[in-house]
Amino acid sequence: MTSRSAQTLLAAAVAVVAVCMMVPYGMWLIYPFDLVGTFIHEAGHALAAVGTGGSVEQFVIRLDTSGYVSYRGGVRLIATPAGYLSSVAVGAALLVAGTQATRVRTALWSTAGGLLVVTAFFSGYGASLLAFGAFISGLLMCAFARTSGSQAQAALHSTAGSAPRRPARSWPRRLALFAGLALMGGALVYIFITGGLLAWAVGGLMALVLWSVAAYAPPRWQQGTVIFLGVQLALDGLNSILTLWTLTRSDHAHNDAATMAGLTGLPAEFWAGAWGLLSLLVIAGALRHYGRTTQTPA
């Protein structure tokens, strides 16, 4: 891809996301990506809590693009700001990766893998990994039953006109199919009860989309996807911090900046402003790298 094409992709992505954020009802056009932004925001909290010795009890995404993470232990001074900064950091990293075609597929695979890991370990609460394993096992059992049935049918057709053969037993395939459906159904019921169904859907479906793009899409589409997702996450992170700043100015007590104020004694406005400034610096650095890498030679 030429330098001009890469710059055009970036400009188009910024224009689309910015217009959707400003135009009434425009956010519905990028609604799935807003859910991904929320997912990564909450994943930042969860990973920071676990990384500092804590454990995640609940990981929930709501249809209104809000969400929350409940955790025990860990260092709250690190886990609390990690949510707002993670969206911007991931977006900036994707922008940097989008500058070179050789990094694009790696970025897609890495992002898809990260979404699956967070989904498996944190979505909902309780035995999320067990539910994830049950769902995957059920899916594999259904696939095995279908494949075995197709092979048996093909073998039956291939022997048509020859000596009659004893038909293969079908009960193992049926048993595998019923067991697989039961495992998948049980996993989905558990996920629904624990409140993690939307988180599973967001993490799993977006991972599938990114995997499909990495595996089958042309290089231009791959690079466009990485750049668009990077812009969306970066601007969504900034927009979230702007909303946080508004909440701190209105004395809204339940937000991450207020939590940091309670932990440190510094006002919530300080933390919202500091996170916003840091996010701007990170995005500016990513855009500067993007501009240098894709600069058209004189």
For 124, which DSSP code? B
CB 115 within 8 A of CB 211: no
pLDDT at 292 (0 to 100): 84
CB 56 within 8 A of CB 125: yes
pLDDT tens, residue by residue, 154-166: 554 555 555 555 5
Q: How far apart are CA 285 and CA 261, in angstroms?
A: 28
pLDDT at 171 (0 to 100): 67
pLDDT at 3 (0 to 100): 62
Global confidence as pTM:
0.80
The two three-digit tokens of residue 120, written as one number: 């498996």
Burial class (CB in 10 A: 0-12, 13-18, 19+), 157: exposed
pLDDT at 194 (0 to 100): 65
Listed residue (233, 283, 290) closest to 8, CA to CA: 290
pLDDT at 200 (0 to 100): 84
pLDDT at 185 (0 to 100): 85
pLDDT at 296 (0 to 100): 53
pLDDT at 38 (0 to 100): 93
**DSSP secondary structure letters along 14-67:** HHHHHHHHHSTTGGGGGHHHHHHHHHHHHHHHHHHHHHTT-EEEEEEE-TTS-E
pLDDT along the chain (298 residues), means of 10: 72 89 84 92 93 88 87 91 93 90 90 90 68 81 74 52 54 81 82 73 90 91 93 92 85 80 91 94 92 66
pLDDT at 144 (0 to 100): 81
Listed residue (69, 111, 67) closest to 90, CA to CA: 111
